[in-house]
Structure 1
Amino acid sequence: MTPPPPPPPPQSVRYISDCLVKPRRLPRHSDDPLHLAPWELAMLSLHYIQKGLLFPLPPPHSLDPGFDRSAFIHSFLEKLKRSLSSALSHFYPLAGRLATLRRTDPPFPTVFVDCANSPGARFIHAALDMTVADILSPTYVPSVVQSFFDHNWAVNHDGHALSLLSAQVTELADGVFIGLSMNHVIGDGTSFWLFFNSWSEIFQAQEKGGVDVVQLSCPPVLTRWFPENHPGPISLPYADDPSSFHARYEVPDLRERVFHFSADAIAGLKVEANRQCGITKISSFQSLTALVWRCITRARHFPPSQVTSCRMTSNNRVRLDPPLPPLYFGSPVTLLRAATTVGELLGGGLGWVALLLHAVVAEHGDAKLREWNEEWIERPQVYRLDKLLDPCSILMASSPRFNMYGNDFGLGKALAPRSGCANKIDGNVFSYPGREGGGSVDLEICLSPATMAALEADAEFMAAALMDL
């Protein structure tokens, strides 16, 4: 299969302004350091989370005859900065920076969030001479989308100098993209979208009532969880050479494409997976993941004896006993791994693979999490992108449960989410809710050009992805 030609060179984003936004007011104890749990420190060498939403601009004819676009954008940006400042009052660690404390007992440093040193979150205004259609219509995600985000290629350890949160608002000819970059040791996807949703809630409340202080309907829980016998702070076993804790990663040539799966298509996968196993406990997302793992592996043309794996990010809030609050603001995630041979994966059928995934998820509970934390404290190590996935694996990240389309900044419902260059490797799959809701899912899949071309020729995969078209 001949891979498709590379995309044309992207147009350039013009940077117009750049400033720091501080919390409008700070609660008591906001100067206290925020110490990090093992699963947060393990992310020091991963990239920031980069996710954003594309919104339409109202056409001039729908406004008053004297519509002034420049004045409209200026007012919109000021409202965004005002509401961001209020949001940071609730999420004040995002205005801080990482810091390293050199300790003598034990003689190892500790990385924490310095909330007293709070220069603020970064806010950028940029523009691009392209349209919404230029972003959404191409088969592959245009590489210019990467320039809709700040802190490209930055690893979380860089949060010692870089802002822990950066918002970039990029004007298009007929739209606006709001892209957030958040340090991953501060928060996971659940925390990221909790902040995005809260920012939107404050924006809407200020539009209606003109108030600066807004009481959130879902305020974050900022208290960090630690294992009972290791209450923190946690030390890292390096002194003068922290290089292994902020390693860099060279991203290979990838194609990124968003595939849509209707609610009916996913329901069909779930019914078939459970039917093949004679059970009813396999979930919709496990069934979809099984399809993706099978089809990407088939597209890679590995021999039957080759071991292949599927890694899945696990939100551990509900898996601890007692569970963490649903609004816990942090990064309590670990990776789950299911593995088998290519021959078994492709020969076992959709249900067999989905049941394998289900078993891995079902056994992941409090005991395993506490064991993981104990082992990490004894032998700390960080995730490295160049070692996270072998060429025979896939990684399922993000979640279709996140409330992406509920964000409203006065421009109506978002047209689509998109991600930046962060944490992308061959075999990464990011899942988003479908815009029409109802259980539909969009998958942003990152593959080498040759593998992407083979996946697009896979009849089983494309039948499910295009079922609703």
Structure 2
Amino acid sequence: MNAPVVVHISECFIKPQYAPKESEQPFYLMPWDLALLSTHYIQKGLLYAKPPQAKKDEHFMQALLNRLKSTLSLALVHFYPLAGRLKTVKAENPASCLVYVDCNGSPGAKFIYATLDLTISDILSPTDVPSIVQSFFDHDRAVNHDGHTMSLLSIQVTELVDGVFLGCSMNHCLGDGTSYWHFFNMWSEIFQAQGKSTNSFSRPPIFKRWFPEGHGPIFNLPYTNPDEFISRFEAPQLRERVFHFSAESIAKLKAKANADCNTSKISSFQSLSALVWRSITRVRNLLPDQITTCRLAANSRSRSDPPLLENYFGNAVYPIRGFTTASELLGHDLGWAAWKLHEAVVDYDDKAVRVLLDDWLEGGIQKVIPFEKLGKSHYYPSSGSNNKYGCEFGMGKAVALRSGYANKFDGKVTCYPGHEGGGSIDLEICLKPDFMCALESDQEFIQASSFNQPV
């Protein structure tokens, strides 16, 4: 018997309802944006249960698709760079290239309708996230540089027997996770307003680029051929699981970490990150003197002076890190590891942000980051603070959040808010099969997580 597959029924391109004047000009990218040309698109999505009326209304899906398309067109008026394409202008002396977003003449964002003969339970009940979830997203394995010919935004609506998955693939050069969920939330807000207004909503994006004094807004890369800085990454065989941590469990972790260090400064997120860092290091059986690293995606918006507004649309995160030897990490308690991460967070201030940008501009660091460098033996969670479950599209609150193939490697951990809210957290963990089996038997990890509760 053949396994069910995702079947694409239709696809089209969605343009902004009208072109804002700003879209006539090139949209220049910042160093943080350009550094991601060789990594994957962001792929996240939400799974919704079909409302009861859908069973009686044979036109439910068509009406939903029409409304999603029309409100997406309105949202793109405000988020116009997402409807563009990347463009490169080369220079010979000195050899360089300028990569920017061109919104003129683009066909727009891609919109796909697909079907799958499976239920919500088929997706959420298995221990591991089923591989079929990767088919809920467009631009599979595409790197951001592919945005020269591919859409910078692609929406795939996959209809299940009793649910709908809304998957969004966004070019990472245009924005980080904060920007990604900013767009998703504003699209939802326009949808819930019945598309009545195109002029205002709660959080209009800020596209004015920030750059250090004496620099910008144009940043050239020292390359003339994409082969010089683009590489393709294939992940090894991985198991992917979503582990749930209740608000009570996280409060206990935080209390323990702070008690270990006789402080009150360690955050919940730092405590949870320390737990996972220790657990993954332990299951990997590293040599005692081997360096182990935990990287956290720090939002630079609030750390810049003056701070960037939260509505700043672009990339403004940097992977700060705590590191030590395996023997040091596992020879100390949870609080010791959490304090390492706390120090890394505190040290990442306005001065650190400017030093990193200066290094990029002066050639002290690699201009375009190869994905292999990001995915080398570390744990790299993204923030759970964005309003992910606030995105509603006429079907109530989503029942789960899932991601695609993009940007996954052995040791990748992504943080989502728990479905019930209240400070609970879900961790999406990707590990090689042997390491995942060991994690499922790691006592420190099991005691902290709601291990037997399917997410």
State the TM-score bracket (shorter-chain normalisation): over 0.9
Matched, 1:118 2:103: no
Counting only pairs closer than 5 Å after superposition, residues 175-186 of structure 1 correspond to structure 2 as 175-186=163-174
Aligned to 1:218: 203
Q: Is the 8 A contact 1:169 1:176 kept in 2?
A: yes
* 1:103 Cα deviation after fit: 3.1
Aligned to 1:388: 374
What amino acid sits opposite 2:371 in the alignment?
L
Per mean C-alpha deviation after superposition, the further-off stretch among 429-438 and 366-375 is 366-375
- Once residues 270 and 155 of structure 2 are traced to their aligned partners in structure 1, the CA distance between those partners, rounded to angstroms, is 33
1:359 and 1:263, CA in 2 relative to 1: closer, same or farther beyond 3 A? same
**Partner SS state of residue 268, structure 1:** helix
Matched, 1:160 2:148: yes
Q: Is the 8 A contact 2:244 2:451 kept in 1?
A: no
Q: Is the 8 A contact 2:235 2:408 kept in 1?
A: yes
- Once residues 419 and 110 of structure 2 are traced to their aligned partners in structure 1, the CA distance between those partners, rounded to angstroms, is 29
| TM-score computed with the length of structure 1 as normaliser | 0.93
From 34, 53, 57, the equivalent of 1:68 is 57
Matched, 1:47 2:36: no
What amino acid sits opposite 1:256 in the alignment?
E
Aligned to 2:418: 434
Q: Is the 8 A contact 1:385 1:425 kept in 2?
A: no
* 1:104 Cα deviation after fit: 5.2
* 1:30 Cα deviation after fit: 1.6
* 1:387 Cα deviation after fit: 2.2
Matched, 1:306 2:299: no
Per mean C-alpha deviation after superposition, the further-off stretch among 444-453 and 110-119 is 110-119
- Once residues 77 and 59 of structure 1 are traced to their aligned partners in structure 2, the CA distance between those partners, rounded to angstroms, is 17
- Once residues 13 and 390 of structure 1 are traced to their aligned partners in structure 2, the CA distance between those partners, rounded to angstroms, is 32
- Once residues 241 and 199 of structure 2 are traced to their aligned partners in structure 1, the CA distance between those partners, rounded to angstroms, is 38
Counting only pairs closer than 5 Å after superposition, residues 127-146 of structure 1 correspond to structure 2 as 127-146=115-134
Matched, 1:452 2:436: yes
What amino acid sits opposite 1:272 in the alignment?
K
Matched, 1:357 2:345: no
Q: Is the 8 A contact 1:109 1:236 kept in 2?
A: yes
Aligned to 1:323: 307
Q: Percent identity between the aligned chains?
A: 55
Aligned to 2:78: 90
* 1:334 Cα deviation after fit: 1.3
Q: Is the 8 A contact 2:40 2:144 kept in 1?
A: yes
- Once residues 116 and 322 of structure 1 are traced to their aligned partners in structure 2, the CA distance between those partners, rounded to angstroms, is 33
* 1:467 Cα deviation after fit: 7.4
Q: Is the 8 A contact 1:56 1:174 kept in 2?
A: yes
Q: Is the 8 A contact 2:111 2:154 kept in 1?
A: yes
* 1:106 Cα deviation after fit: 4.4
1:467 and 1:153, CA in 2 relative to 1: closer, same or farther beyond 3 A? closer
Deviations 1:371-423 (A, max 9, x none): 111111122422222222333x2222x22101111111100000011000000
Q: Is the 8 A contact 1:220 1:329 kept in 2?
A: yes
**Partner SS state of residue 275, structure 2:** helix
Aligned to 1:170: 158
- Once residues 361 and 402 of structure 2 are traced to their aligned partners in structure 1, the CA distance between those partners, rounded to angstroms, is 35
- Once residues 92 and 164 of structure 2 are traced to their aligned partners in structure 1, the CA distance between those partners, rounded to angstroms, is 50
| TM-score computed with the length of structure 2 as normaliser | 0.96
Q: Is the 8 A contact 2:49 2:395 kept in 1?
A: yes
What amino acid sits opposite 1:182 in the alignment?
M
Per mean C-alpha deviation after superposition, the further-off stretch among 218-227 and 379-388 is 379-388
- Once residues 389 and 299 of structure 1 are traced to their aligned partners in structure 2, the CA distance between those partners, rounded to angstroms, is 18
* 1:212 Cα deviation after fit: 5.4
What amino acid sits opposite 1:177 in the alignment?
F
* 1:335 Cα deviation after fit: 1.1
Deviation beyond 4 Å, 4+ runs, structure 1: none
**Partner SS state of residue 426, structure 1:** coil
1:467 and 1:455, CA in 2 relative to 1: closer, same or farther beyond 3 A? closer
**Partner SS state of residue 258, structure 1:** strand
What amino acid sits opposite 2:30 in the alignment?
A
* 1:430 Cα deviation after fit: 0.5
**Partner SS state of residue 22, structure 2:** coil
**Partner SS state of residue 30, structure 1:** helix
Deviations 1:183-235 (A, max 9, x none): 001010000000000010000101xxx62525111110011111212123111
Aligned to 1:408: 392
Matched, 1:18 2:11: yes
Kindly tell me the number of residue pairs found equivalent between the two proteins: 451
